[in-house]
Amino acid sequence: MRNSRLAAITLGALTLSVCFFSPRLWLMREYLPGTFEWDRAHSFLLQCEQPFRRDVGVSVLWRLLPALICHILGLRGWGALCLPWLGAICVTFYVARLHANRLSEIRFVCGGTLLFATTAAVLVPVGWLGLNDGWMWLGLLAVAFADSGWTILVACVLCPWVDERFIIALPLAMVVRHIDRQAGVGRCISAALPGLVLYAGIRLTFSAAVAGPTNHYLTEQLASIPVFIAWVPLGWWMGLRVAWLPVAGAVRSRPWLLGGGAFATIGICLLLATDLSRSTAMLSPLMLLGVFQFAATRPDIAPRFVLRAGVANLLIPAAHITFTKFDRIDNLALELLRLRH
């Protein structure tokens, strides 16, 4: 399938996603502290001015690569805040390409791309300013599905500096690669190791300067778990919704390996962050594996069912859930009305 057609599919999927699950445009006109839309953006914009400053949130202190790129390119304000949206576009295009490589049937490619574009992997970086999740998911999917082992090396050199969650989700992505491509685990680890060693070496070397704030953050996070634990099922559901079906399909093929890996991945993240719905995007490689396995075993019905799944995910309500906060995602028409008033 031509890149021009894949670009059109990507644009269409993202347009539908934004129309049904719109960013809160009226909150994006000016900096509003204490909102989902601006809390991370404020730290990110400060980093874009001075990438190595320490007076930013502990959770973003080491997420230096996007800020460095913006600093070098001279991007500030909305110029810098467009980088996360570009990441969401790139990863969605890559998902369309992966689907086309497996089954070049228009309904299958459109449905799979739309299904991905209506999960937290896209809804979060589009709706929350300053979150570069799209670039992280791009690296994670490259680890799981790219042809070249060099891609793993590049992803592991760059992506930990976008978000540490990449490292948490990396083992599961490697397992997905092993199952999907029959790739040797040893080769995957060998390709990933240089980037991970580099990241660990730099962080350990300079960790003493931020150990105090980091330890304080972890202590507070662990102490808060009993408060938000009841919100976990709803938060996890909202992150993927219908996309849990291909996740379940993939897990069914290797219950202990993939089921245990999935639970460990989002379980570890649960101990470190309260972004409940956002964290489920770490299972994106597993979701795509389930779709691809279905296409391989039932190519006659896969296009129809995957398209229906994408449309269903578009129609089922979604929300961002962080800690005990429930933030419903409304459609574009309603957000435009709010913007006018």
**What pLDDT digit, counting tens, does each position of 160-177 carry?**
999 999 999 999 999 999
Task: Please name the residue ranges forming H helices in the chain.
Answer: 3-20, 36-49, 65-73, 78-102, 106-117, 120-127, 133-145, 149-158, 165-181, 185-206, 211-228, 232-240, 244-253, 260-272, 276-279, 284-297, 302-315, 332-340
pTM of the model: 0.93
Per-residue pLDDT, 7: 96
Per-residue pLDDT, 169: 95
Return the residue matching tokens 């379940």: 248
Q: Is the pLDDT of residue 223 over 80?
A: no
Domain count, the chain: 1
Rounded CA separation 217/213 (Å): 6
Q: Which residues pair with 320 in a beta bridge?
A: 327
Per-residue pLDDT, 94: 98
Going by the DSSP 8-state scheme, the letter that residue 132 receives in this structure is -
Rounded CA separation 298/94 (Å): 23
Per-residue pLDDT, 290: 97
Q: Quick: pLDDT tens for 294-314.
A: 999 999 999 999 999 999 999
Q: Is the pLDDT of residue 339 over 60?
A: yes
Residues 327, 282 contacting (CB under 8 angstroms) = no
Q: How many CB atoms lie within 10 A of CB 171?
A: 16
Per-residue pLDDT, 212: 52
Residues 330, 22 contacting (CB under 8 angstroms) = yes
Q: Is the pLDDT of residue 137 over 70?
A: yes
Q: Measuring CA to CA, how many Å separate 282 from each of 266, 277, 290? A: 7, 10, 14
Determine the structural domain holding residue 118 and report its residue range. Answer: 3-340
Q: Quick: pLDDT tens for 239-252.
A: 999 999 999 999 99
Q: Please give the span between the terminal C-alpha atoms of the chain, in angstroms, as a whole number.
A: 44
Q: Quick: pLDDT tens for 41-71.
A: 888 999 999 998 888 877 788 899 999 999 9
Burial level of 84, CB count in 10 A (0-12/13-18/19+)? buried
DSSP result, 64-85: -HHHHHHHHHT--THHHHHHHH
| 194-197 CB contacts, 8 Å cutoff, 24+ apart | 194/153, 194/156, 194/157, 195/153, 195/154, 195/155, 195/156, 195/157, 195/158, 195/160, 196/156, 196/160, 196/167, 196/170
